[in-house]
């Protein structure tokens, strides 16, 4: 996997609050007195001399992580020069754009026009789930009871207490989704000016809240667009689908009774024996007297991303992040990737089947025809135009990382990925065509586009899919050099989903 990932405004810890309009630089300069101007010039000269003598950010060791003792400004500056740290947090990575990793341009060709856009988004950054939070509390209690001393960077654990919330979005996650709505509007502006997306959400409170903040971001962008239709109502969440095994829900597929996550447990346990022992040795050396097991290593590492996204957007990493090196984080990312691949993707016999229902809903929307599905579709909701529209041009659906992973594989996006090895350290940091941090970070989004090119009245529309701003070429439908397929060819290639996948085994 390429570790040289891009730094964009949407990247972690660089999402700013809405800025108030400010006077232009020329106006501000004119308002200053002669004395103020001389003071400003002197400050600038001193700053330039200091900058010339200051060592570069890249002089720090390659695998070093900013220390907690740095000021928030310094930490932010150092963080922005090293975003790769949070790009190896698997599904706990804050959203980051993969546009520069796209081998195909994400721009719409000049002879084409988008006529349909569907976004499938994961909720924003959250606190840990209640069950995980209990494990973290137990782990920290064990460390405090057993530790004879706290050496080096491990001193940060001496007075550390779990003060994280549970389940809900963090403030940072709310802002991520606000930005997501703005980005969606900006990309599909020519449609969004006169339309609002038809919005659905899975029933979890953090998913519903994510949809609401997305809508606010969308509307804020629309309000600043002078050419938009200001008389149109703001987007709302049109449909909330209840969660639970008793409900059919394509955004939280859990109605396949035979589904089990055993394959991912086996895979993760195998890899845990490969990467955890070396890290455990470092932990033991830093915490004399503490007796932990391999299973505690990823739990302790989890606290870095959760504590970081729980902070107000200061730009600084949690001091807990410094307990681990970049190579440790690469192993951690691969460990989480195994979770998704063998839990809900190609590595699980019933993984892709969990995403079939949503794929059939997308087909229905693209063809303006009733949904044909016998798997996880809620037939009551999908047969009512008020709760499942077939006439919109923009759609937004909000879900969880596990279900989105199943949907990606039901769409055939990563079918060429070979089975991920679990018994060799050489797997770490190398590209296998798929990773959790590249596909389902917090606030991840997939755009499913349909575009008309050439003679719009006679040409068949083309379909293209972008995952976190990276074009994923379609397969099995004679994709062109831009990764696109004709709509009907693409639909024909989705035979797995159209036939219900392996739902008979459910």
Q: Is residue 115 part of a domain?
A: yes
Lowest mean pLDDT among 155-164, 252-261, 350-359: 252-261
Active site residue 401: yes
Q: What is the pLDDT of residue 267?
A: 96
pLDDT of residue 84: 76
Q: Is 394 a domain residue?
A: yes
416: annotated active-site residue: no
Beta 470-471 vs 445-453: how paired, if at all?
A: unpaired
Mean pLDDT of 245-255: 91
Residue 191 has pLDDT above 50, yes or no: yes
Q: pLDDT at position 66, please?
A: 32
Separation of alpha carbons 379 and 384, rounded Å? 9
H or E element that contains 200: strand 198-202
User: Does some domain include residue 71?
Assistant: no
Please give the pLDDT value at position 440: 98
In total, how many domains does the chain have?
1
Q: Which of 333, 382, 397, 401 is flagged as catalytic?
A: 401
CATH code where residue 470 lies? 3.40.50.1240
Q: How confident is the model at residue 131 (pLDDT cuts 50, 70, 90)?
A: very high
How much is the pLDDT for 456?
66
Question: Is 438 a member of any domain?
Answer: yes
Q: Is residue 98 part of a domain?
A: no
Per-residue pLDDT of 297-335, as tens digits, reads 999 999 999 999 998 665 688 999 999 999 999 999 999
pTM for the whole thing? Answer: 0.84
Position of tokens 């996880």? 376
- Rounded to 5 degrees, φ, ψ at 41 are -65, -40
Q: Give the DSSP letter string of 5-48.
A: ----TTSTT--PPPPPP---HHHHHHHS-HHHHHHHHHHHHHHH
Q: Determine the structural domain holding residue 304 and report its residue range.
A: 107-505
The pLDDT tens digits for 402-428 are 999 999 999 999 988 888 999 876 666
Which residues is 465 bridged to in the sheet?
Answer: 448
**Catalytic entry in 11, 78, 87, 123:** 123
Confidence at residue 20, expressed as pLDDT on a 0 to 100 scale: 30
Inside any domain, residue 499: yes
Contact 156, 434 (CB under 8 A): no
In a domain, 11, yes or no: no
The reply to whether 472 falls in a domain is yes
| Mean pLDDT, rounded, for 173-200 | 97
Phi, psi of 308 (to 5 degrees): -70, -50
Residue 48 has pLDDT above 70, yes or no: no
What is the per-residue DSSP string for 221-254?
HHHH-TTS-TTSPPP-EEEEEPPSTTS--TTS--
Mapped onto helix, strand or coil, the DSSP state of residue 219 is: helix
Tell me: pLDDT of 366 over 70. yes
399: closest CA among 118, 176, 170, 206?
Answer: 206
């Amino acid at each position: 996997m390429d570790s040289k990932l891009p730094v964009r405004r949407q990247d972690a810890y660089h999402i700013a609050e809405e800025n108030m309009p400010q006077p232009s630089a020329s106006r501000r300069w004119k308002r200053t007195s002669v004395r103020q101007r001389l003071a400003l010039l002197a400050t600038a000269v001193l700053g330039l001399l200091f900058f010339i003598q200051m060592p570069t950010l890249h002089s720090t060791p390659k695998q070093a992580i900013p220390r907690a003792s740095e000021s928030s400004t310094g930490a932010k500056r150092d963080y922005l020069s090293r975003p790769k740290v949070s790009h190896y947090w698997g599904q706990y990575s804050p959203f980051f754009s993969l546009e520069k990793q796209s081998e195909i341009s994400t721009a719409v060709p000049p002879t084409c026009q988008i006529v349909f856009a569907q976004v499938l988004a994961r909720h924003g950054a959250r606190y840990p789930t209640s069950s995980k939070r209990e494990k973290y509390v137990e782990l920290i209690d064990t460390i405090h009871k057993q530790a004879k001393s706290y050496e080096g960077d491990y001193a940060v654990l001496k007075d550390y207490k779990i003060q994280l919330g549970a389940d809900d979005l963090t403030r940072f996650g709310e802002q991520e989704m606000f930005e997501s709505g703005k980005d969606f509007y900006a990309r599909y502006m020519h449609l969004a000016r006169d339309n609002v997306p038809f919005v659905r959400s899975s029933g979890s409170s953090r998913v519903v809240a994510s949809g609401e903040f997305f809508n606010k971001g969308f509307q804020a962008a629309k309000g600043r667009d002078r050419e938009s239709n200001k008389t149109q109502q703001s987007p709302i969440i049109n449909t909330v689908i209840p969660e639970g095994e008793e409900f059919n829900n394509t955004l939280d597929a859990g109605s396949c009774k035979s589904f089990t996550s055993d394959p991912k447990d086996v895979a993760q346990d195998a890899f845990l024996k490969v990467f955890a022992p070396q890290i455990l040795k470092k932990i033991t050396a830093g915490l004399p007297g503490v007796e932990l097991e391999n299973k505690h290593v990823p739990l302790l590492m989890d606290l870095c991303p959760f504590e970081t996204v729980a902070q107000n957007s200061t730009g600084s990493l949690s001091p807990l992040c410094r307990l681990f090196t970049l190579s440790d984080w690469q192993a951690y990312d691969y460990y989480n990737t195994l979770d998704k691949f063998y839990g809900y993707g190609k590595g699980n016999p019933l993984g892709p089947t969990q995403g079939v229902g949503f794929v059939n809903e997308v087909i229905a929307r693209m063809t303006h025809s009733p949904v044909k599905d016998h798997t996880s579709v809620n037939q009551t909701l999908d047969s009512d135009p008020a709760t499942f529209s077939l006439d919109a041009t923009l759609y937004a659906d909000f879900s969880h990382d596990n279900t989105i992973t199943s949907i990606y594989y039901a769409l055939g996006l990563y079918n060429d990925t070979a089975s991920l090895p679990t018994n060799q350290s050489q797997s770490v940091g190398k590209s296998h065509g798929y990773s959790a941090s590249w596909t389902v970070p917090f606030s991840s989004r997939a755009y499913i586009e349909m575009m008309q090119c050439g003679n719009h009245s006679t040409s068949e529309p083309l379909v293209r899919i972008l995952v976190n701003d990276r074009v994923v070429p379609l397969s099995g439908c004679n994709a062109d050099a831009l990764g696109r397929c004709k709509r009907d060819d693409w639909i024909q290639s989705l035979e797995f989903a159209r036939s219900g996948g392996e739902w008979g085994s459910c």
